[in-house]
Amino acid sequence: MRRKRFQNRVAESRISLPATGVYAFIVCLLGGLLGEHMWIQFALLVVSAFLMMELNNSNALIRIYSRMVSCSFIVLAVMAYFLFVDIKCGIVQTCFIAFYLFLFTTYQSRASVGRVFYAFAMLGIASIYYVQILFFIPVIWVLMATNIMNGCARVYVASLLGLLLPYWFATGYYAFTDQISLIGDHFTALLDFDSQSVWLDIPLVQIVTIVFIALLAVVGMINFRLNNYRDKIRTRMLFDFFSVMIIFTMIFMILQPTNMHFLLAMLIVSASPLIGHFISLTNSLITNLIFSFMLVATLALTVCNVWIQF
């Protein structure tokens, strides 16, 4: 019988998710939720947490009962408190989760044009606030063919129409307000690549936060790669999807440090399932020590980020 360590008791506990929710609410209160009236940001966090829970449940990402995918997301989202206060980051993050949720329901189904349309409509909405997310589209199309296995002409046409849907409304609005040139300016930003010196202007605590989340993502990817033979083929395909998205997100973070906040919000979404998988399905002394370190480091970074923001 497998010995349950501290990390396993936390991962399999039914109170982990409610306790994490209370923790997040307290962090938001300390960060100025009431004083700064950040109710929209908090609502986006709640919706994102619910969508992550649904993403885990509908795809059985963890093969045992565990809420660690949702808990990992919530803890990392409030740890990076400088993302929480930015409504645009919250919208992009929520749309990105919804994209995963819609797209993964189309696994091995070419008769899912509607859900693909909705998935890419979510990316289209996200691109209104962060246009560079469009650079991920070719990668996603490849992953649809190799991992989701739903690739066909109708599906790709539906994805294009979904991407264009928000711009149909935006173009009509800007034409009505005589600001049509803003559409061109929006897409011109795709050609802007920043100097690496921009990293020098990013606060140290934010850089440490980025490195820590990236490190957790790498640990999760390595662990899954070593132990994925225990999961179903569908689960392996979805986690490989997450892993590729993590790698490309990290590359873009290096190339576009000005957009670091949006990219970090996306990284948290893709990394949370891998981190949750690591916490839930490992039980050695070393992984238990790693889990304890993760808790301490996460709490310390949360305090630092909230303190600086406050």
pLDDT digits (tens, 9 = 90+) for 242-300: 999 999 999 999 888 888 999 999 999 999 999 999 999 998 899 999 999 999 999 99
Nearest 5°: the CA angle 104, 18, 91 is 50
State pTM to two decimals.
0.94
* pLDDT score of 1: 47
Rg of the chain over Cα atoms, rounded to whole angstroms, equals 19
The domain spans of the chain are 6-309
Residue 153 burial (CB count, 10 A): 8
Residue 109 pLDDT exceeds 90: no
Instruction: Using alpha carbons, list the distances in angstroms from residue 137 to 48, 98, 134, 245, 291.
Output: 22, 15, 5, 11, 34
Instruction: Fill in the DSSP letter of residue 33.
Output: T
Average model confidence (pLDDT) for the chain?
91
For 69, the token pair is: 């995918």
pLDDT category of residue 182 using cuts at 50, 70 and 90: confident
* pLDDT score of 2: 59
- Cα–Cα nearest to 95, from 58, 123, 72: 123
